[in-house]
Structure 1
Amino acid sequence: MLDVLKVIILGIVEGITEWLPVSSTGHLILVGDVLKPSMSDAFMEMFNVVIQLGAIMAVVVLYFHKLNPFSPRKTSKQKMLTWQMWIKVLIASVPAGIVGLLFNDILDKLFYKPFPVAVMLIVYGVLFIIVENRNVGRKPSVRRISELSVSMLIWIGIFQMLALIPGTSRSGATIVGALIIGVSREVAAEFTFFLAIPAMFGASLLKLVKFGFHFTGAEFGLLILGCLVSFGLSVVAIKFLMGYIKKHDFKIFGYYRIILGGIIIVVTLVQTFLA
């Protein structure tokens, strides 16, 4: 029963932090270190990634019409634009896909720890503040996904690739990258949601293959529970974020990241000193 409660908490954390630019993986690592579920380290490493399937299904459900090129409610032109959007998503997915396939295990081994997570929280927190301050008074040059050029897509894709380091935040990195090149906040956030679909499905599949699909009945049940909780909270988080950025910038998330990263560094240093 205690592990069920811990999984629910992890699902809540994933659902909220996956779409807010504050690093879901980083939060899951940190919360997992505090809760210390009784499952094996290998299972928890896989769980922290596969639980994202619940979050990504929230995007599919909320944006199903916009994502569906076969919708009978769309005109021929709208269907063509939908296919073009998917091509843009795939182009932007290439950098992270290549690096993830080649170096996923190495990156996990090096950076799947509290201190690197804290550093990346702070680095991208500072970037958010710098970019938003630079953009004050500037009008975005891109207000629709259809206006994203191939060079812009590669640029955003490189930032998503950088998010393979835990603590960076996939949504945070791609949003920062998009804001730097003049993409509006709404388009940056929405394209980030769509870009997550192949990235998160691919990452989850890699983790499942690595784990070997060898679940006990209890582990499978906990994984499904985590995904369901993550799905529900993701719906809320996505609606909140899209409403929030219509009137506000991303600097509040930058300050949050810096504060959280600083706290983690202090706690890590104290634990090391007392050990």
Structure 2
Amino acid sequence: MDQNLLAVIVGIVEGLTEFLPVSSTGHMIIVGHMLGFEGPLADVFDVFVQLGAILSVIFIYKERFARFFTKDGWDVNKGLSVWHVAAGIVPVMAVAFFLYKYIKAYLFSPFTVAIGLFLGGVLLMYAEHRTKGREAELVDDVDKISIKQAIWVGIYQFLSLWPGFSRSGSTIAGGLLVGLTRNAAANYTFLIAVPLMFVACIYDLLKNLGSLSAGDLQVLAIGFVVSFVVAYASVLWFLKFLHKYDLTSFAVYRILLAGFTYWYFYL
């Protein structure tokens, strides 16, 4: 397959799935195996398309991120602060640092992704079941999230270290289980994703940058731009979706995809 077309396909997949509770890593592994897109270039390409998705969220929440660089942005009594963000990402960053080699070596396969997709779908269903009928009790504004809730969402994010579980899926489900509405949990999830993903991407990029050649730059640029545009539209659509619907449809999709993945690769 032409590499430019491949860049468009993978960029679309990344942009669509990075911030939805369906696991972008899982989709990238599945698509990569199906298209035979593996090896050093694929590793670097995955990082570049993730950076495109990250940039889209920075654009959407630009006022919020700008506030983090002001005095109010550090005050826990004046809405969501840098400390709330740190509470949600520092624990998982520390654990991921020590488990990085193990995860890359043993968990990046269609089989492990299928397991993560299935269990993540069950978690979403459970979170929806636990909060049904008590929506009025939930925190409906990201600026009202407590440090304790932020820490608990960060703990649920440990699940996302298993490819296929989904970072946004685990944190949004975790947010529901600790007393947040879907929208508050989603907004918090997207905001903490930026520093977390940025650090992870730069770490991956530095490890794989030596395998790049000048001829790869066009492919990387195409994937970056496509991912940015698609992720931008995907996040805005998802936030509107959550005003009307719950997460059950995503849970069902995940479980069906888990079954398809196992069938395609192992039966």
Q: Is the contact between residue 60 and residue 67 of structure 1 (CA under 8 Å) also seen in structure 2?
A: yes
- C-alpha change, 1:148 and 1:230, in structure 2 (3 Å) is same
1:24 corresponds to which residue? Answer: 24
- How far off its partner does 1:222 sit? 1.5
Q: Is the contact between residue 156 and residue 170 of structure 2 (CA under 8 Å) also seen in structure 1?
A: yes
- How far off its partner does 1:78 sit? 7.7
Q: Is the contact between residue 69 and residue 83 of structure 1 (CA under 8 Å) also seen in structure 2?
A: no
- How far off its partner does 1:49 sit? 3.1
Question: 116, 123, 128: which is aligned to 2:124?
Answer: 128
Question: 91, 97, 104: which is aligned to 1:101?
Answer: 97
1:161 corresponds to which residue? Answer: 158
What does 1:75-224 correspond to in 2, within 5 Å? 84-139=80-135, 140-224=137-221
Percent identity of paired positions between Structure 1 and Structure 2: 35
Q: Secondary structure at the match of 1:183?
A: coil
The count of corresponding residues between Structure 1 and Structure 2 is 265
Q: Secondary structure at the match of 1:51?
A: helix
Is 1:55 aligned with 2:53? yes
Partners of 2:112 and 2:158 in 1: CA distance? 16
- How far off its partner does 1:187 sit? 0.6
- How far off its partner does 1:122 sit? 0.5
Read off the aligned partner of 2:39 and give its amino acid letter.
Answer: D
Q: Secondary structure at the match of 1:21?
A: coil
- How far off its partner does 1:146 sit? 2.9
- How far off its partner does 1:79 sit? 8.4
RMSD, aligned CA: 2.1
Read off the aligned partner of 2:202 and give its amino acid letter.
Answer: L
Q: Is the contact between residue 85 and residue 145 of structure 1 (CA under 8 Å) also seen in structure 2?
A: no
Q: Is the contact between residue 50 and residue 207 of structure 1 (CA under 8 Å) also seen in structure 2?
A: no
- C-alpha change, 1:217 and 1:159, in structure 2 (3 Å) is same
What does 1:28-47 correspond to in 2, within 5 Å? 28-37=28-37, 41-47=39-45
Q: Is the contact between residue 142 and residue 184 of structure 1 (CA under 8 Å) also seen in structure 2?
A: yes
- How far off its partner does 1:66 sit? 2.2
Structure 1 residues 9-48: Cα deviation after superposition (integer angstroms, max 9, x where no partner): 00000000011110001101111111123xx612212322
- How far off its partner does 1:110 sit? 1.0
- C-alpha change, 1:207 and 1:77, in structure 2 (3 Å) is closer
Q: Is the contact between residue 25 and residue 166 of structure 2 (CA under 8 Å) also seen in structure 1?
A: yes
Partners of 2:68 and 2:165 in 1: CA distance? 35
Is 1:229 aligned with 2:208? no
- How far off its partner does 1:70 sit? 7.5
- C-alpha change, 1:263 and 1:91, in structure 2 (3 Å) is same
Is 1:68 aligned with 2:66? yes
- C-alpha change, 1:119 and 1:70, in structure 2 (3 Å) is closer
Alignment gaps of 5+ in structure 1 = 271-275
Partners of 1:149 and 1:89 in 2: CA distance? 11
Partners of 1:105 and 1:79 in 2: CA distance? 34
Partners of 2:44 and 2:190 in 1: CA distance? 22
- How far off its partner does 1:138 sit? 0.6
Q: Is the contact between residue 17 and residue 23 of structure 2 (CA under 8 Å) also seen in structure 1?
A: yes
Partners of 2:18 and 2:235 in 1: CA distance? 9
1:273 corresponds to which residue? Answer: none
Read off the aligned partner of 1:35 and give its amino acid letter.
Answer: L
